[in-house]
Amino acid sequence: MRKLLVVACVMFGFGFALVPFYKKICEVTGVNNVLKADEVANTQVDAARWLTVEFDTNVRDNLPWTFRPLEKSVRFHPGQLMQVDFEIRNNSNRAITGQAIPSYGPQVAAGYFKKLECFCFSQQTLQPGEVRRMPVVFVIEDGLPKDVNTVTLSYSFFEVEGTSKKG
């Protein structure tokens, strides 16, 4: 019985130690690095080229929120600083915390899409019935392949488990 208890304690300790180890691996490799602003290397505007960014919004796991961009798409030049606002509403009778995860289409655009301000950098807690407008400030750096003229920025909001208070 003593050996079983020692094995269980070692397994628990190993599992507990994996969390900071996983975070450090993600930090070093850049995987899941959505919680901080990007650095912009080139700020020159390419006035000879036009890009369109379309916005897609989703909520996951029966999250009782309404989430939408205030503009469906924007047209601009590479290197031009842009701001787009999103609106989110908590349709429930309890406070809920969510986290937005961005994705890009085509995938190659992710390397050129630089967010300077984004609600996706932190968890969002909305009170019952609360409506919030949240900005995304971004630039698409010059260098995006010439055959890419439209980029889709998609956000999916997930409920952060263990943070909501049932009401």
Contact 113, 83 (CB under 8 A): no
Residue 26 host element (H or E): helix 2-29
More confident residue, 140 or 29: 140
CA pair distance 141, 109, nearest whole angstrom? 10
Question: What pLDDT score does 157 carry?
Answer: 96
Q: What is the CATH number of domain 35-159?
A: 2.60.370.10
Residue 28 host element (H or E): helix 2-29
Number of H helices, E strands in the chain: 1, 9
CA pair distance 166, 122, nearest whole angstrom? 22
Please tell me whether the peptide bond between 20 and the residue prior to it is cis, using omega within 30 degrees of 0: no
Task: Provide the token pair at 92.
Answer: 């429930």
Residue 155 host element (H or E): strand 150-159
Burial of 36 (0-12, 13-18, 19+ CB in 10 A): exposed
Q: How is the chain split into domains, by residue range?
A: 1-33, 35-159
pLDDT digit string, tens, across residues 101-137? 999 999 999 999 999 999 999 999 999 999 999 999 9
pLDDT digit string, tens, across residues 49-103? 999 999 999 999 789 999 999 999 999 999 999 999 999 999 999 999 999 999 9
